[in-house]
Amino acid sequence: MCTVCGCGTDSAEHSLIRGHSHSHAAGLNNARMVQIEQDILGKNNQYAAQNRQWLAERGILALNLVSSPGSGKTTLLTETLTRLQGNLPMAVIEGDQQTSNDADRIRATGVPALQINTGKGCHLDAHMVGQALESLPIANGGILFIENVGNLVCPAAFDLGEAHKVVILSVTEGEDKPIKYPDMFHAADLMILNKIDLLPYLKFDVAKCEEYARRVNPTIQILHVSATSGVGIGGWLDWLICVKPPVPA
Ligand SMILES: Nc1nc2c(ncn2[C@@H]2O[C@H](COP(=O)(O)OP(=O)(O)OP(=O)(O)O)[C@@H](O)[C@H]2O)c(=O)[nH]1
Ligand SMILES: [Zn+2]
Ligand SMILES: [Zn+2]
């Protein structure tokens, strides 16, 4: 078990995942390390491709919500589910290291949620998601939200079979997160700048944050949201409907 970031893989494997290039795998040469990295991510990508096909056959839009801990993923989700409920089928996969708090918050909205506890692992992988798909009730044409473990590093490297990664950045975290964690902002198609209700109380340069995000990902879309006040949620719902595939015949 890796003790550097708590990743569930062993230390040899762990140091190889993108974003963990520091070596804490004594005795392994570079070629061996690259081989192990290719094996782990290759296996993950096979499961991700299976998930993607399973979702496509059912016309289900899957979104992978990624962020630092506490950026507001669950709050945004509960607000989204409450607003969309009754209009289309939805389900949630909740990734968390230890608790089922977030899944409980989701279920309180009436939408089915499945909790995956990763233990010391710091990200969801495609195999875990594939297993969850087998037991989660979600009708064709629906939206599957996957709330990843709060971590701006490891989840960037793992394709879960989702259509889009959505990165949530709260304004309390500082505007330089996109250039500090470029892999995550590069992998995402949409950045939600959350907690904008707090801007009057903070020194947070919105324009600079957006410039940093576009520096690492020129095509990233950006929305300003307050999950608690509801500002900007309409734009997020519009985005969801826009990217949703048609229901298969
Ligand atoms: N002011 C303000 N607070 C918010 C907003 N969104 C979330 N919060 C608060 O931020 C805290 C963390 O929100 P969560 O929704 O639990 O964040 P999370 O990303 O799901 O957290 P983890 O699952 O632990 O990574 C809670 O106290 C929320 O009420 C917002 O738009 N504005
Ligand atoms: Zn890790
Ligand atoms: Zn959460």
**CB neighbour list of residue 5: distance below 8 Å, 6 or more residues apart:** 14, 20, 122, 151, 153, 154
Task: Return residues with CB closer than 5 A to ligand 2 (ion).
Answer: 5, 7, 122, 154
What's the rounded Cα separation, in Å, for the pair 79 and 118?
Answer: 25
Q: Which atom of ligand 1 is nearest to the CA of 149?
A: 25
The predicted-structure confidence for 43-76, as pLDDT tens digits, reads as follows 999 999 999 999 999 999 999 999 999 999 999 9
Per-residue pLDDT, 18: 45
In angstroms, what is the span from residue 135 Cα to ligand 2's centroid?
Answer: 27
**CB neighbour list of residue 111: distance below 8 Å, 6 or more residues apart:** 81, 85, 90, 91, 92
pTM flag (> 0.95): no
Residues with CB under 6 A from ligand 1: 67, 69-75, 102, 150, 194-195, 197-198, 226-228
Which residue's alpha carbon is nearest to atom 30 within ligand 1?
A: 195
What's the rounded Cα separation, in Å, for the pair 178 and 157?
Answer: 16
Which residue's alpha carbon is nearest to atom 14 within ligand 1?
A: 72
Q: Are 218 and 185 in contact (CB under 8 A)?
A: no
**Average pLDDT score over residue span 17-27:** 53
Q: Which ligand is nearest to the CA of 236?
A: 1
Per-residue pLDDT, 214: 98
Per-residue pLDDT, 218: 98
The predicted-structure confidence for 128-174, as pLDDT tens digits, reads as follows 999 999 999 999 999 999 999 999 999 999 999 999 999 999 999 99
In angstroms, what is the span from residue 166 Cα to ligand 1's centroid?
Answer: 16
Per-residue pLDDT, 13: 53
In angstroms, what is the span from residue 154 Cα to ligand 3's centroid?
Answer: 17
Backbone Cα Rg of the chain: 18
Which is more confidently placed, 29 or 208? 208
Tokens 């997160």 locate to: 177
